Amino acid sequence: MKKRPVLILGARSDIGKATAHAFAASGHPVQLAARNADSLRADRSDIALRYDVEVTLHKFDALDLSSLTTFVECLPELPQIAICVVGLLGDQGQYERYPDTASRMIRSNFEGPACILGVLANRYEERGEGTLVGISSVAGERGRATNYFYGSAKAGFTAFLSGLRNRLTRKGVHVVTVLPGFVATRMTEGMELPAPLTTTPDWVAKAVLEAVKRKRDVVYVKPVWRYIMAIIRCIPERHFKTQNL
């Protein structure tokens, strides 16, 4: 049976490209969506030739909310799987000083991803099948002084995915929350990341592929993060607020 397309939202990111390769290698046609979709022409050719699958490019801006419904309507085929890799890390200090910068980050990590998955969720519910995947973050599991702007946005996205999963679980639609932890990408370049807690885009992509196949709900790409965050969540606030985390 011919496999249906996988839509990668935020396909210019390192994780987006790795995920496209992982699903194409499994025989899925791929729809690559990004603000500057034309910059992915070389990637489209590479993936199509390497895996002998159809690859299409689509202009997509998660922050242009008025365009999201039209974007989905204009896809050549409603995908079987949609994976949202849209996100922005940035600098906590900048967010503390410049509200407009903080707003863009929050919209990039929560509002845009939630809204596009919401549009797709309605189509999947009507069809009675499909899989939605959101790349969130362990940073959303508790607010920390060093990244509470980013963490709060990811917390919102994680809560959204949980609610969406609860809404659609009896509608034939599967919703996956992926929590990578530290990932060595262009976005984290220059940061000192602890090697035992850091993964790669390829490992994230493999985790997403496996989660979709096994219909898992919440995935910690590095399983150790499940235990680390369980401990962090249990620290009483009176003690937690004194920690430099």
**49's tokens:** 């030739």
What pLDDT is attached to residue 199?
81
Contact call for residues 149 and 102 (beta carbons, < 8 A): yes
CA dist 11 and 169 (Å) reads 27
pLDDT, tens digit (0-9, with 9 covering 90-100), for 96-155: 999 999 999 999 999 999 999 999 999 999 999 999 999 999 999 999 998 999 999 999
Tokens encoding 207: 């985790």
Helices (H), the chain: 14-25, 41-51, 68-73, 92-97, 99-106, 112-127, 148-168, 201-214, 224-234, 237-240
Kindly list the catalytic residues. Answer: 150
Average pLDDT over residues 31-58: 97
State mean pLDDT over 55-80. Answer: 97
The SS3 assignment for 142 reads coil
pLDDT above 70 for 1: no
Give me the CATH topology for the region 6-240: Rossmann fold (3.40.50)
The domain segmentation of the chain, as residue ranges, is 6-240
Whole-angstrom distance, CA of residue 193 vs CA of residue 214 = 30
Length of the chain: 245
